[in-house]
Structure 1
Amino acid sequence: MTSPAPVAIERLLLTDFRNYARLALVPAGRLVALVGNNGIGKTNVLEAISFLSAGRGLRRAALSEIARREGPGAWAVAATLNGPLGDVQIGTGYAGTESGRRVRIDGTEAKSSEALLEHVRVLWLVPAMDGLFTGPAGDRRRFLDRLTLSIDPSHGRRVSDFEKALSHRNRLLDTGGSAAWLDAVEQQLAGLGLAVAAARRETVSLLQGRINAQSGLGLPFPSANLSLEGEFEQAASGLAASDQEELLLRQLRDGRTRDRAAGRTLNGPHRTDLSVLHVAKAMPAGLASTGEQKALLIGLILAHADLTAAVSGLTPILLLDEVAAHLDPGRRAALFSRLVSLNCQVFMTGTDALLFADLPDGSEIVPLAER
């Protein structure tokens, strides 16, 4: 099997991004630790890097909120990316007067941020994800869709189209749309929903295989069993694709009265939940201790980075915000060792350089100064 091609940022430039009027960063190592006091802007750098991939960034913030307060209302992130085809110039930003962000690749404007997936995959683990296993199902669904997007670049558009069709159906129900219109919209919705559900199942299956393989490495991060739960998922289990589509169509048609009363569609792939089980303790991840949940999440992200590299043929760029501070020395060392074996470029953050004292040779600690 061909090894994934290494991808790395050689130069990063931020302009009017969050607290930075301008920041130029030239990473020298595969593992890069950004160190500085709280509030200095470490996570802002990671957020900027997250915009080098498709989607809304690791904070999912409104584009206008990202612009520097004292700035002109616009912002930009530019990078020189080294990959299998050599250096590529990537730029993205917000002009302050538009609804979306612009993306340029080697000087040519791209139609959407999905074009970036041809050159780089960016994955992240941030403190806001600590409540993933105990929070609402919608958070886990978005998390799963992001995992899926990194191995299936069409998934983001697929989910967007599904959500638009879902909103259309809800409006028709609310306004008393005709049965013929509902039939047409539900036919479209069922096809899109089936594609979304199939992509999620494929991701869960592939990721479970990587988690199982990783469990043999002796890492101090517990293994997880993943599954999809929901009324549609349960009813569709074991059915052929054509039968699944017919099932979803039937559920939508039969549920019109109930959904009209509720003001929303109560069944379908938009209600699917990602179930995570702590294997060693045979308990739902949400019932594990806070430390165990963090370790489970780290193990899951490491397995996903491995899967992303294998499927895309590109090593992902991994962003780990304040992860080292929550690990004991043994787990920190194991994390650093696993990151080296994955051959990813990794950006980590921390308030204390001592957290990264055991980084392997070739790594870099970058102190960030007050702005």
Structure 2
Amino acid sequence: MLSRLVLTDFRNHAALTIAPAADFVVLTGANGAGKTNVLEAVSLLAPGRGLRRAALSDMAREDGAREGGGGGFGVAATLDDGVEVATGTLASAPDRRVVRVNGAAAPAAALAERSAILWLTPAMDRLFVEPAGERRRFLDRLTLALVPSHATHAARYEAAMRDRNRVLAEPHPDADWLAALEVQMARHGTALDAGRRDTVAALDAALAATPAPDLPRAALALDGWAGDAPALAAALAASRMRDAAAGRTLVGPHRVDLVVRHVEKARGAALASTGEQKALLLGIVLAHAALVADRRGRRPVLLLDEVAAHLDPVRRAALFRRLAGLGQVWVTGTEAALFDALPDDAAVTAIAL
């Protein structure tokens, strides 16, 4: 969890400091006030491109350089255990991310070892009807919160796969070099797949064990490639000609899909209504937060953008009761009245932007 957040020249915020409470951080304000920008800044304290998946060069405040800010941006936080983490860019390298832990340079993957951050945004409401790649990214964030090494395996698998694709595109590919890259893909790909499958199995069991859920119950499974490292290396070797013709790698854990079903209605989540899909997704996030707290012994950070706006007062109150104690919850809304049903005993920081 975060005990302090400092933004410098990030999006529309020239300078912003927040000392968040342990339970809820409520950000309110008109559309365009910068509420989601704050959530995006927090999301950058995890590996990856943040909740908008935007280019780093787009995150620096437009007027920052003209006002002497240098043209880059900074996001710094103090965690509840006293560790200082920071990330951002320099004007001289607007597309290169800098990460520091306790003042020392660190890889972005190191952030996963310090905190678990997950988010839910309106853009994710139709996750179940989007291409499989979107669900894989969502699953990888779930897995990363449980298995901090997941980011390293994912990065090395992707790097080896890019190199393999490049070698396959050459007129006379080097077979020995391909074999070495395939061994690397197999090693990291197997670890990648194992982390995902463990997460799906544990989360599916947690969802099934939820007593009298007030949200639709989801059932999860992973569809696609499965096997050990030797099997993956052999499959890659056998697929060289086909992959060369396609210009991409057609076998491996990068091709799997997260399958979600609506249990009560016994059908795929993609066939559910828009409201049901959002409720299914929210149920997954809540169950995952409890799983993270149980497995890692620390409460996660949940970023929920406009999650209460389309809920009636009864469901809104039920949601806040479910959220209480799960982690540090950052929520946004245009009106403070949306959060009147927050538990009376919760520690709340309310900020009007």
TM range (shorter): over 0.9
Residue-by-residue CA offset, 1:80-125 (whole Å, 9 max, x unaligned): 3223xxx33332221122343223333x213212323333221111
Is 2:316 the counterpart of 1:314? Answer: no
Is 2:75 the counterpart of 1:77? Answer: yes
**Deviation of 1:247 (Å):** 2.5
Q: Partners of 1:35 and 1:69 in 2: how far apart? A: 23
Alignment check: 8 A CA contact 1:35 1:365 kept: no
Q: Partners of 2:349 and 2:273 in 1: how far apart? A: 31
Aligned length, in residue pairs: 345
Which residues in structure 2 correspond to 1:92-241 (within 5 Å)? 92-98=87-93, 99-106=95-102, 108-175=103-170, 176-214=172-210, 216=211, 218-230=212-224, 232-233=225-226, 236=227
- Structure 2's unaligned 5+ residue stretches are 66-70
Amino acid at match of 1:318: L
**Deviation of 1:363 (Å):** 4.6
Residue-by-residue CA offset, 1:217-274 (whole Å, 9 max, x unaligned): x2321111111112x23xx4xxxxxxx3333223222222221111111111111111
Specify the alignment match of 1:358 in structure 2.
341
Specify the alignment match of 1:293 in structure 2.
277
Alignment check: 8 A CA contact 1:219 1:334 kept: no
Alignment check: 8 A CA contact 2:100 2:106 kept: no
Which stretch of the first structure deviates more once superposed, 19-28 or 345-354?
19-28
Amino acid at match of 1:118: E
3-state SS, counterpart of residue 146 of structure 1: helix
Residue-by-residue CA offset, 1:164-186 (whole Å, 9 max, x unaligned): 11111111211030333322222
**Deviation of 1:58 (Å):** 1.2
Q: Partners of 1:184 and 1:104 in 2: how far apart? A: 33
Amino acid at match of 2:243: D
Tell me which of the two structures has the higher relative contact order, counting C-alpha pairs closer than 8 angstroms and 6 or more residues apart.
1
Q: 1:328 to 1:42 in 2, by over 3 A?
A: same
Is 2:24 the counterpart of 1:31? Answer: yes
Which stretch of the first structure deviates more once superposed, 49-58 or 128-137?
49-58
Q: Partners of 1:172 and 1:28 in 2: how far apart? A: 52
**Deviation of 1:29 (Å):** 5.7
Residue-by-residue CA offset, 1:143-175 (whole Å, 9 max, x unaligned): 111111111111111011111111111112110
Q: Partners of 2:155 and 2:260 in 1: how far apart? A: 25
Q: 1:53 aligns with which of 17, 42, 46?
A: 46
Specify the alignment match of 2:15 in structure 1.
22
**Deviation of 1:276 (Å):** 0.6
Q: 1:228 to 1:69 in 2, by over 3 A?
A: same
**Deviation of 1:365 (Å):** 6.1
Which residues in structure 2 correspond to 1:246-285 (within 5 Å)? 246-285=230-269
Q: Partners of 2:12 and 2:253 in 1: how far apart? A: 39
Amino acid at match of 1:154: S
Amino acid at match of 1:59: R
**Runs of 4+ displaced beyond 3 Å:** 362-365
Specify the alignment match of 2:4 in structure 1.
11
TM-score, length-scaled by structure 1: 0.88
Q: % of aligned pairs identical?
A: 53
Q: Partners of 2:269 and 2:229 in 1: how far apart? A: 31
3-state SS, counterpart of residue 326 of structure 1: coil
